[in-house]
């Protein structure tokens, strides 16, 4: 095996894994806390990508330097998370927390359809591309292989920050402890005066923001076109299931595995690119049916 090609595969896999992690960890967080599998999660990713690419490209024509797009991405993601995610939780999901899981799935599926259409109406079907930040950060060379710093350093760094940030937030802050308490036992938490509704809202907004951020950060490396939302949601489903549901560290490992697996396929067996994540998921679940970091639930008679 050629070392340079292998390095390329590694860089590419890590960069992709970092993006998938951002999206999947949001999904995992929402599922872990609210027990809702949000089918519309991929739409936040797509909205983030579309909003970021059009806003950054427009600002660039006004003379904004490429690197300044990065804070713009962050702001865009937060706005989408708060507005779209917040409205969705406040006015739709809140009504169905006590319903059957299948029904909750359907509500998010309906929202997925609406957001998917909305995005087509606003941005049309032509692909968008703006690579300003990619060029602004330059390239790095390792072992004779040149790759963009954006993908080799920046994306993994962001993913690591999010991982550590979430861990810190959930374990060492009051708001995080509240969310964990609601996850463990909603009734008991409410009995001691915790506002479970607000905890759900905050969780959902964080999840949506992370997905939108994933989309925004992915936009310089790929064309933004219809279908990226549905594609990303199935991928993050695969990551969440491989990880063990609600497991943040598991999501990081699974995203890395799936990112690397996919980029191996891209370079060595392109026909199997799309199949690879599911192959990894199936293999993991064969050995550990509850996922990498999942806990086996006690069986009640």
Q: Which is nearer to other proteins, 101 or 146 (CB)?
A: 101
81 CB-near residues (< 8 Å, 6+ apart): 44, 205, 206, 207, 208, 209, 210, 211, 212, 213
Closest of 175, 203, 240, 183 to residue 39, by C-alpha: 240
Using the rule CB under 8 A, give the single segment among 71-79, 131-139, 146-154, 284-292 that binds other proteins.
284-292
Q: Does the footprint of other proteins cover residue 296 (CB under 8 A)?
A: no
Q: Does the footprint of other proteins cover residue 165 (CB under 8 A)?
A: no
Q: Does the footprint of other proteins cover residue 266 (CB under 8 A)?
A: no
Q: Does the footprint of other proteins cover residue 295 (CB under 8 A)?
A: no
Report how far residue 100's alpha carbon sits from residue 78's, in angstroms, rounded to the nearest whole number: 30
CA distances from 199 to 165, 180, 186, 202, 208 (A): 17, 9, 10, 5, 14
Give me the least distance between CB of 156 and other proteins, in Å please: 26
Q: Does the footprint of other proteins cover residue 116 (CB under 8 A)?
A: yes
The CA-CA-CA angle for residues 110, 103, 300, to 5°, reads: 150
Applying CB under 8 A, what is the total number of residues that bind other proteins? 47
**Among 82, 153, 234, 266, contact with other proteins (rule: CB under 8 A):** 234
Q: Does the footprint of other proteins cover residue 103 (CB under 8 A)?
A: yes
Given a contact cutoff of 8 angstroms between Cβ atoms, the answer to whether 187 and 98 are in contact is no
Q: Does the footprint of other proteins cover residue 278 (CB under 8 A)?
A: yes
Element (H, E) at 39: none
Q: Does the footprint of other proteins cover residue 279 (CB under 8 A)?
A: yes
How many other β-carbons are positioned within 10 Å of the β-carbon of residue 228? Answer: 22
Report how far residue 241's alpha carbon sits from residue 127's, in angstroms, rounded to the nearest whole number: 31
Q: Does the footprint of other proteins cover residue 274 (CB under 8 A)?
A: yes
Exposure pattern of 117-129 as b/e (b: 16+ CB <10 Å)? eebeeebeeeebe
Q: Does the footprint of other proteins cover residue 37 (CB under 8 A)?
A: yes
SS3 for 65?
coil
Q: Which is nearer to other proteins, 47 or 213 (CB)?
A: 47
Using the rule CB under 8 A, give the single segment among 14-22, 53-61, 63-71, 117-125 that binds other proteins.
117-125
Q: Does the footprint of other proteins cover residue 282 (CB under 8 A)?
A: yes
Number of H helices, E strands in the chain: 14, 2
Give me the least distance between CB of 20 and other proteins, in Å please: 15
* Footprint of other proteins (CB under 8 A): 31, 37, 39, 92, 95-96, 99, 101-103, 105-107, 109-114, 116-118, 120-121, 230, 234, 237-238, 240-241, 245, 271-275, 278-279, 281-282, 285, 289-291, 299-301
């Amino acid at each position: 095996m050629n070392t340079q090609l292998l390095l390329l595969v590694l860089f590419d896999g890590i960069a992709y894994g970092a993006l998938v992690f951002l999206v999947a960890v949001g999904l995992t967080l929402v599922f872990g806390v609210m027990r809702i599998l949000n089918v519309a999660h991929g739409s936040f990713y797509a909205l983030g990508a579309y909003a970021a690419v059009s806003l950054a490209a427009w600002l660039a024509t006004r003379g904004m330097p490429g690197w300044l797009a990065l804070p713009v991405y962050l702001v865009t993601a937060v706005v989408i998370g708060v507005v779209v995610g917040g409205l969705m939780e406040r006015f739709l999901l809140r009504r169905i927390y006590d319903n059957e899981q299948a029904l909750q799935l359907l509500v998010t599926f309906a929202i997925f359809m609406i957001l998917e259409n909305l995005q087509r109406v606003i941005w049309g079907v032509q692909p968008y591309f703006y690579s300003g930040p990619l060029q602004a950060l330059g390239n790095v060379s390792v072992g004779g292989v040149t790759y963009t710093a954006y993908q080799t350093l920046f994306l993994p760094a962001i993913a690591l920050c999010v991982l550590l940030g979430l861990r810190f937030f959930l374990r060492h802050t009051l708001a995080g402890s509240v969310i964990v308490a609601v996850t463990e036992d909603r009734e008991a938490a409410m009995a001691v005066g915790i506002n479970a509704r607000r905890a759900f809202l905050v969780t959902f907004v964080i999840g949506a923001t992370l997905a939108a951020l994933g989309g925004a950060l992915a936009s310089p490396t790929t064309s933004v076109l219809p279908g990226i939302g549905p594609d990303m949601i199935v991928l993050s489903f695969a990551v969440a299931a491989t990880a063990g549901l609600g497991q943040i560290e598991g999501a990081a490992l699974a995203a890395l595995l799936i990112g690397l697996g996919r980029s191996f396929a891209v370079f060595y067996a392109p026909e199997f690119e799309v199949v690879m994540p599911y192959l990894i998921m199936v293999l993991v679940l064969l050995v550990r049916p509850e996922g990498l970091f999942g806990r086996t639930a006690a069986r009640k008679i």
